[in-house]
Structures are given as C-alpha cells and as structure tokens.
Structure 1
Amino acid sequence: MTTLRDAPSATERPPRHAGNTGSPGSRHPAARRTLAYLGLVTVTLLTLVPFGWMLSASLKRDSEVLAIPIQWIPDELRWSNFVEIWERVPMATYLGNSLFLSVTITFLQVLTGSFAAYGFSKVRFPGRDALFLGYLATIAVPWQAYMVPQYIMMQRLELTDTYWSLILLQAFGAFGVFLMRQYYMSIPDELCEAARIDGLSEYGIYRRIMLPLSKPALASLALLTFVNTWNDYMGPFIYLTSNDLWTVQLGLRSFVGQYEAEHAMIMTGAVLSVLPILVLFLFGQRYFIQGVATSGLKG
C-alpha cells in the first residue's frame, strides 16, 4: 500500500505537457527561418522585375519592347543598341555633366550637413532645439510649394541655364543635417568635453574627432545625395536649357518625339545611367547599411 510518505512530492512530479511548453515559434526555428528567407527572396524578385524588364528592353528592337505577351529573352540580342546610343546623342557629355553635378552637390551637402549637425548636437546655445525643429520642419514642405519662387530668384540673379542654380539650391539639405545629428548624438559628449579641456577648438573637435568617428553616416549621406542628384529630372529640366549642359536624365528626352518614342534607346540609356549607381553602392554598401542602422540610435 502506498503511503503519503512514499508519494512523490510536488517538486519531484514531472511537469505536465512538457512537450507543449514554449511559444510556437520557439519550437520550429528552422521553419520560421525558411519562411523568412522565402519572403525576402520573393520581395527581392518583385523589386528586380522592373530592372529585368529594362535590361531586356535595351536588347530588343523598338517594335518588340511593348509587345504582349512580354518576351523576357528576345530571339535576337541587339547589343548594337549600346553602340548606337553613343552615336545618336552626346552620351559622354550627358554622363559627364551628371557626374559633375552629383559629385559637387554631394560634397557640399556632406560638408554643410555634417558641420551644421555638429552645432545642433554638441554645441550648446540658446534656442538650439527650437531652431533645429524649425529647420527640420522644412522637410514637410513640398518642393512644388516653393518651386516658382526659387526659379524667380535664380532668374533675377541671372543664374538660370547654369550649374550654379542647381548647386546653390541643393548644397544645403535638412535631411542631411538630421541624419548626421542623429549619428552624432550616439557619440559620447565626454569626448568633446575632454577635447575642450585639452584646448582643442570647436573646429578641431569637428575635424579631428567627429568626422573620423562618423564615417558610416557620412557614407550613407553621400550615397543618398549622389543617387538623388544623379536621378534628378525636374531640377535640370527647369533650370538648364542648353543641350551641352544637359544631364543624362534630360538627354534621354532626345528619344521622345511628339507622336512616338524610341523605347529601346530610352531603356538602353537607362541601363547606362544605372551602372554608376550600382558600382557606387557595391563599394559603399557596408558603410551605407551601418550608417542607416545606427543613425537613429542614441547611447
């Protein structure tokens, strides 16, 4: 006969439903990981579909580009399109103009954005936060709201049909200041205080401490600004009228007529314009991803 002394205590009893403990996700980590990878692959393929169509269209005859159903791999790959486009339009001039504007504006935005962000994050002065909030609020104002006043201002300064109009208007940006400030906030203030005690000026702190520590954020801002300037169409369209000043985005308009467009040539030019961005991202993706991931952190 089993006595109370021989019965197992509560601590010795095996747990009930031991096989059902834990959340459903913790019991099948491999399945969750597989589903996550499948979702990422699906989204990636959907994102690459337009680029695949662009590349396919650049290797077709013009009459085959809009054919239905879509023939992703044409029967005849017309590599001659990439030779013909250089003969039809001054493509080298357009690419050079885009490169000049993109590099110049990127350099100025990185310089002004990082310098202003240092003042908003590490220098204490009255009204700093209110001034930063007001400056940041300009991001919410759509460009169409002040597009006409900007053009009138550039016209009165006689800067239309010059690169100065685009450079001066795009050399400063609230987004760049916000991005760099968020990254600077993650750098301990003690470093700046120690540098001030050692006699280093604010310019010296910015140049010798803040810039070397913020390479990921600088690379992110540079890449975003370069891509935005390279792909800009409305800015050059409004301010540049001379053909020798056109960027590659404006140059592709040469293949758009009043009643028809040469879609094969347009897609060929689009492929050529994407290549510099692709190369730039491949070389700077490590800094870009790190900068975007850490710019919103403070600690």
Structure 2
Amino acid sequence: MAQQVEKDAADQLVSDFTPPTAAVRNLRKLSDPKPRRAADGDKITPGRRVGRIAMYVGLIIFAIALLAPFAWMVLSSFKSANEVFSVPVKWLPETWVWQNYVDIWTESNMLVWIRNTLFLAVVVTFLQVLTGSFAAYGFARMRFKGRDVLFLLYVGTIAVPWQSYMIPQFILLSNFKVSNTLWAIILLQAFGAFGVFLMKQFYETIPEELSEAARLDGLSEYAIWRKIMLPLSIPALASLTLLTFVNTWNDYLGPLIYLRNPDLWTIQLGLKSFVSNLFDTNYALLFAGLTISVIPIAIIFLLGQKYFVEGIATSGLKG
C-alpha cells in the first residue's frame, strides 16, 4: 500500500512539471483574452502596421532617389556623346556603345591612374589601421597623466577643416622635398584622429579582465595589443579599413595640390583631365571611366559590408 501511495505521488509530481499537450495549449490560446503581440513585445495595432508600411515605402523612395544618379551614369556610359544630355532625358541608350570602354583604355593612361590610386589606397589604409589601432590601445588601456586631455585635443582636430592649414602643410612638405611625389599623399593621410576614436570606442567594449589576465601571464603591452585586442577587433578594423580605403580612393583635392606629374596622377585627376570645357568633352567616355573607378569600391564594400555594419554599430557602446 505504501509503495502504491509513493507511486501515485511521483506520478502527480511528474504531471505537474510536464508541459501540456498541443490540444490543451491550443485551448488556452483560444481562451486567452490578451491581444497577440509581436516578437519584440509590442502590440500589433492597425496604426503600427500602417506606420511600418509607410516607413518601408519611404525607405524604398529614398533608395531609388539615391541610386538614380548612379544608374544614369552607368547607362550613359553606353550612349553616344550626343545622346548623353538629350532632351527629354532618355534613360536607356538607343544604341549600346560598348566601344566607350575600349576607348577609355586606349585614349588615356587609365592603367597608370588605377595603379597609382591603388598603391596610395593600400599603403594609406595599412598605415592608418596600424597607427590608429595602436594609438587607440594606448588611450583605452594605458594609464598616464593627461591622457584624457590629450585624447580630446587629438580627436578635436577632426573639427578643424583641412583648408585652414592646407597652405602651411604644403610649405612644410615642399621643404621636405616630397612635393610632387606619392610620399606627400602618404604622409598626409598616414595618421587619422577618426581611426583612433573609432578603435578606442571599440576597445572599451572589450572586458579589461582579459588584459589583466594576460599581464599576469607575462605578456607585454605590445603582445596584448597584437594577440588579444586585434583579433577581437575585426569588425572595427574592417570598418576603419573600408572607410579609409574609400576616402583615399576618392580623394581629389590632395592629389590635385601635390601631384603635378601626369605619371603620378590618380584616377580622379586623370578623369578630370577629360573635362577641358563643357562643349568638347565626351561625357559618355568620361562616364565609362567613372564607372570603372566605382567598381573596386563596390566590390570591397560588398565583401566587407557585414563587418562594416557590425563595427559601426558596436563602436559606440561601452562595456
């Protein structure tokens, strides 16, 4: 008898913790007076649904307006010279002129321009990522007198327009005999306050206990930065790499001031040489060159989009 009582009690205990069957759960849902909720816990109301639809429509319109000039440039690169600015505007060319892409290579130094631009973009990006991540580690993890003031002063240089110190900088680089060389552009952009700020904000999301444990294991600060901080900062490094590469690739004013030799021109300066005046410029040929110049940036952005979004989203958080 005692064994039967114990068995009944055990069965009752198990039944108390056993999830209800599907039929019972469905009956409970039907009898539940609470309104259905979205995944984020908010009520799905008609007003909220209309607002979401309006948001999507607005984003689609904004995307179309943003991509329309780019689409017109690409389509115009396949038009004839007289068809580019036809009135009314014709989006699709009447005759697809593929010869424009052949002529842009044969009638210009496009290969030289791309080589110079790629060299500057790669070298400047490498130096900015190296110096920015290293300086950011010092500001984020090292303790020294005046650190916060020095960081504020350094980051404050972002607000200073380049045009305000452009002439003294040109005189300085001319005295160093690097004007009219690619070294001028490299020295100009090898250091950047934005990269230090971006990396410092990301470093502060990494638990400091990792650095303390590494110091107890005997690692130096250089080893901590190289073996711990850098591997954990791939999203921020990818964001900084992408932003720096794009800015250097699209830079026009710097090469215009310092690069006077046509053999040193970047792709932006080279394409500008096509625009002598408004009346004899072959804009179809120019748009073909511009389309070629955009292709590397588009490929790099598509490959690094995931890390770019993740790095920007997390760099503003503090752990």
Structure-1-length-normalised TM-score: 0.90
CA RMSD of aligned residues (A): 2.0
2:44 aligned partner = 26
Would you say 1:294 and 2:294 are equivalent positions?
no
Question: 8 Å contact 1:114–1:176 — kept in the other structure?
Answer: yes
Question: 8 Å contact 1:98–1:247 — kept in the other structure?
Answer: yes
SS of structure 2 residue aligned to 1:121: helix
Q: Which runs of 4+ in 1 moved over 6 A?
A: none
**Mapped partners of 1:66, 1:132: distance in 2:** 51
Would you say 1:244 and 2:250 are equivalent positions?
no
Cα distance, 1:30 vs structure 2: 4.0
Cα distance, 1:194 vs structure 2: 1.1
Percent identity between matched residues is: 56
2:293 aligned partner = 273
Cα distance, 1:152 vs structure 2: 0.4
1:74 pairs with 93, 102, 108, which one?
A: 93
Deviation larger for 227-236 or 249-258: 249-258
Cα distance, 1:258 vs structure 2: 4.2
Opposite residue 166 of structure 2, the aligned amino acid is M
Would you say 1:90 and 2:109 are equivalent positions?
yes
Structure-2-length-normalised TM-score: 0.85
2:82 aligned partner = 63
**Mapped partners of 1:151, 1:265: distance in 2:** 33
1:263 aligned partner = 283
Would you say 1:214 and 2:253 are equivalent positions?
no
Q: Per the alignment, do residues 77 and 181 of structure 1 end up closer, same or farther by CA in structure 2, a change over 3 Å counting?
A: same
Opposite residue 194 of structure 1, the aligned amino acid is A
2:302 aligned partner = 282
**Mapped partners of 2:139, 2:223: distance in 1:** 16
Cα distance, 1:26 vs structure 2: 3.4
SS of structure 1 residue aligned to 2:173: helix
Cα distance, 1:25 vs structure 2: 6.9
Cα distance, 1:142 vs structure 2: 0.4
Cα distance, 1:209 vs structure 2: 0.4
Opposite residue 44 of structure 2, the aligned amino acid is S
Opposite residue 27 of structure 1, the aligned amino acid is T
1:8 aligned partner = none
Q: Per the alignment, do residues 89 and 51 of structure 1 end up closer, same or farther by CA in structure 2, a change over 3 Å counting?
A: same
Opposite residue 78 of structure 2, the aligned amino acid is L
Deviation larger for 248-257 or 107-116: 248-257
Opposite residue 242 of structure 1, the aligned amino acid is N
Question: 8 Å contact 1:25–1:32 — kept in the other structure?
Answer: no
Opposite residue 167 of structure 2, the aligned amino acid is V
Query: What whole-Å deviation, never above 9, does each CA across 1:51-108 have from its counterpart, x for those lacking one?
Result: 0111121111111112222100011111110111001101111111110000000000
SS of structure 2 residue aligned to 1:160: coil
Deviation larger for 63-72 or 240-249: 63-72
Cα distance, 1:38 vs structure 2: 1.6
**Mapped partners of 2:84, 2:277: distance in 1:** 19
1:172 aligned partner = 191
Cα distance, 1:113 vs structure 2: 0.3
**Mapped partners of 1:230, 1:107: distance in 2:** 13
**Mapped partners of 1:25, 1:167: distance in 2:** 55
Q: Show structure 1 runs of 5+ residues with no match.
A: 1-17
Q: Per the alignment, do residues 35 and 259 of structure 1 end up closer, same or farther by CA in structure 2, a change over 3 Å counting?
A: closer
Opposite residue 107 of structure 1, the aligned amino acid is F
SS of structure 2 residue aligned to 1:255: coil
Query: What whole-Å deviation, never above 9, does each CA across 1:125-171 have from its counterpart, x for those lacking one?
Result: 11100000000110010010011011001111111110111101100
**Mapped partners of 2:43, 2:125: distance in 1:** 45
Would you say 1:110 and 2:158 are equivalent positions?
no
Opposite residue 52 of structure 1, the aligned amino acid is A
Q: Per the alignment, do residues 192 and 137 of structure 1 end up closer, same or farther by CA in structure 2, a change over 3 Å counting?
A: same
Opposite residue 265 of structure 1, the aligned amino acid is L
Q: Show structure 2 runs of 5+ residues with no match.
A: 1-33, 36-41
Would you say 1:137 and 2:137 are equivalent positions?
no
